[in-house]
Amino acid sequence: MKKPKIVSGFSKLSKRGKIRWLVENFFSNPEEVARELKSFWYGDPQKQKIFDDFSENTVSNFYLPYGVLPNLDVNGTLYCVPMVIEESSVVAAASSAAKFWLDKGGFKSEIISTQKIGQVHFDWKGDFDKLDALFPSLKKAIADSTEPITRNMQERGGGISNIELVNMSHLEENYYQIKMTFETCDSMGANFINSILEEASRTLSLFVGQQEHFTEEEKKVNIIMSILSNYTPECLVRTWVECPVEDLGTFENGNMDAETFAFKFVKALKIAQIDIHRATTHNKGIFNGIDAVALATGNDFRAIESCGHTYAARDGSYKSLSYAEIIDGKFRFWLDIPLAIGTVGGLTSLHPLAKRSLEMLGKPSAKELMMIISATGLAQNFAAVRSLVTTGIQQGHMKMHLMNILNHLEATEKEIILVLSHFKDKIVSFTAVRDFLTILRNNTSSEIKYT
């Protein structure tokens, strides 16, 4: 790599100009890299423009696999769920869990709540009781001033559901909040919430400034910031699977019975409740499924992840988001997760494949999508823990990973056939595959049989 130089006015360059600067400054083979970056552009320039406009300084597109999880039964409706994920075996694992539960009642899901939160954080020096006494009028002023923004949402059944004044000055001197709760219907609502909060902050400053019985100091509000909170514990969905233990069947080619499996499964879930190292990996498995559907449907997976992890630590220590129990011979496995997602607005209708994803799911409401996403997370979690307490994770994982290794080693079609057959009953590792390929490649005699 050449020594990076400071660049000014980069964002003003044309896309080709940006690529030129990039390849000339960072690559030893500029022509080749420029060609490669351009090769990932959409064929249709109109569509490419949509992608370019999503972000800034875009020079190309970064491809990820778009797969589908068929046969996911949620509340009796069969979905084919789109998943965008690069990790091998995630889609296969979720598909196998979906199929496993298909004849055992499928996944059940219910929406517990759909409230989102935003805050105006402000610094104010004064007698809190005086501000608190005025709060009913301030609340009305905020509702009135934000009405032009909330009108449309109100027509759809949403809007501002609550406004509170929160005294935080015991934690930080002169620190207070206007905490607002919202119902944003089928949209994720980030822009809606942030616009309201900024308007509310202006109203707050005006309102306080107009209070004649306030001291000069009390008439001044120092707005620190106005922003939604990605922690939405009241935008919650619960999803579960259950069946009599004996219906779970046998595992490991009949070598593990249902009782042993259920015991180990429940124990694994308890471990994820009490050990943060396991809890983190356990929840990562859940988010393998959740993020993949969030991405495929144009939702903000960073918001979903940060919320989920905070929720997992809601009682002071980080724990599993899912639970399992056996009561009266019945195995039950469930997930409670906050999911602030949308099916209208944002990328959902702009990204051509996000739009197709929602179409594939039957144009769900946000509530329905919450249930689909959480069922995918639970399916993923079931598949991971099932593997862990039976065969171990590597068996399935490395089989899927084998193709990645073969692609990395640029195996030919003929070599792929021979390698797949060789590793059918063997442990896959990068070294083992590379060594086997080396033997294959060094051996000019095609007479040798590889088993």
The H or E element spanning position 430 is: helix 430-442
Q: Is residue 219 within 8 Å of 209, Cβ to Cβ?
A: yes
Query: In 347-429, where does DSSP find H-type helix?
Result: 347-350, 352-360, 366-389, 394-408, 413-422
Quote the tokens at residue 65: 């696999």
| Smallest separation, CB 394 to ligand MEV (Å) | 10
Query: In 210-238, where does DSSP find H-type helix?
Result: none
DSSP string computed for 55-87: SSS--S-----EEEEEEEEETTEEEEEEEE--S
Nearer to ligand MEV, 184 or 322 (CB): 322
Does position 187 interact with ligand MEV (CB under 6 A)? The reply is: no
Distance CA(296)–CA(307), nearest Å, equals 19
Nearer to ligand MEV, 351 or 401 (CB): 401
* Helices and strands, number each (H, E), in the chain: 17, 10
| Smallest separation, CB 265 to ligand MEV (Å) | 11
Does position 384 interact with ligand MEV (CB under 6 A)? The reply is: yes
Nearer to ligand MEV, 224 or 393 (CB): 393
| Smallest separation, CB 286 to ligand MEV (Å) | 8
Binding test (CB under 6 A) with ligand MEV, winner from 282, 319, 351, 386 = 282
Q: Is residue 239 within 8 Å of 373, Cβ to Cβ?
A: no
Stretches 60-68, 181-189, 276-284, 431-439: which one binds ligand MEV (CB under 6 A)? 276-284
Does position 288 interact with ligand MEV (CB under 6 A)? The reply is: yes
Residue 444, C-beta contacts closer than 8 angstroms, at least 6 positions apart: none
Binding test (CB under 6 A) with ligand MEV, winner from 87, 123, 257, 336 = 87
| Smallest separation, CB 116 to ligand MEV (Å) | 29
Subset of residues 194 to 253 that bind ligand MEV, contact rule: CB under 6 A = none
Catalytic residue positions? 87, 284, 300, 397
| Smallest separation, CB 282 to ligand MEV (Å) | 5
Nearer to ligand MEV, 85 or 204 (CB): 85
Does position 258 interact with ligand MEV (CB under 6 A)? The reply is: no
Does position 285 interact with ligand MEV (CB under 6 A)? The reply is: yes
Q: Strand 236-244 vs strand 175-183: parallel, antiparallel, or unpaired? A: unpaired
Nearer to ligand MEV, 201 or 283 (CB): 283
Stretches 106-114, 284-292, 313-321, 413-421: which one binds ligand MEV (CB under 6 A)? 284-292
Distance CA(341)–CA(300), nearest Å, equals 7
Nearest Cα neighbor of 420 from 406, 441, 408, 434 is 406
When CB distances to ligand MEV are compared, the closest residue is 285
Nearer to ligand MEV, 285 or 342 (CB): 285
Distance CA(189)–CA(228), nearest Å, equals 9
CA torsion 214-219-222-228 (nearest 10°) is 80
Binding test (CB under 6 A) with ligand MEV, winner from 25, 169, 191, 281 = 281
The residues of the shown chain that bind ligand MEV, judged by CB under 6 A, are 87, 281-282, 284-285, 288, 384-385, 388, 393
